[in-house]
Structure 1
Amino acid sequence: MTTQAPETRIVQAYRVPCDGGGAALGHPRVWLQIPEDKGYVECPYCDAKLVHKDFEGKV
């Protein structure tokens, strides 16, 4: 059995919500702040990587 890789999403803003994307199968909505020098943040619940559009392909 293999584990799926965490989801990577390209986003437009530096402050973004994450709720796991699965309604009842998701997690509580959290707001995450992407550091402007790093370009991405990982959700502490679902491990999704949220990448700002300016850093797409760079992280």
Structure 2
Amino acid sequence: MSTPVPEIKEVDTYRIHCDGGEGGHPRVWLQIPIEHGWVECPYCDCRYIIKKGADGGH
């Protein structure tokens, strides 16, 4: 049995929220570290990646 791959989403800002979709988990706010360019949700493992060329809301 294989494990499903976590979802990957490209975003325009360094501060985002994740709620796991329809009834997935409580809403959490996440900060993408500038030096890494990505962050993973601690509940659902969804990975948020900053889009290339995005100013990150700055």
1:15 aligned residue: 15
**Unpaired stretches in structure 2, ≥5 consecutive residues:** 54-58
| Bigger fraction of residues in helix | 1
Identity of aligned residues (%): 57
In 2, the alpha carbon distance for the partners of 1:54 and 1:44 equals 24
1:47 aligned residue: 45
In 2, the alpha carbon distance for the partners of 1:36 and 1:3 equals 29
Q: Shift of residue 3 of structure 1?
A: 1.1
Deviations 1:17-50 (A, max 9, x none): 00011x22x1000000000111000000000100
C-alpha RMSD of the superposition: 1.3
Size of the aligned set, in residue pairs, is 53
With normalisation by structure 2, the TM-score equals 0.84
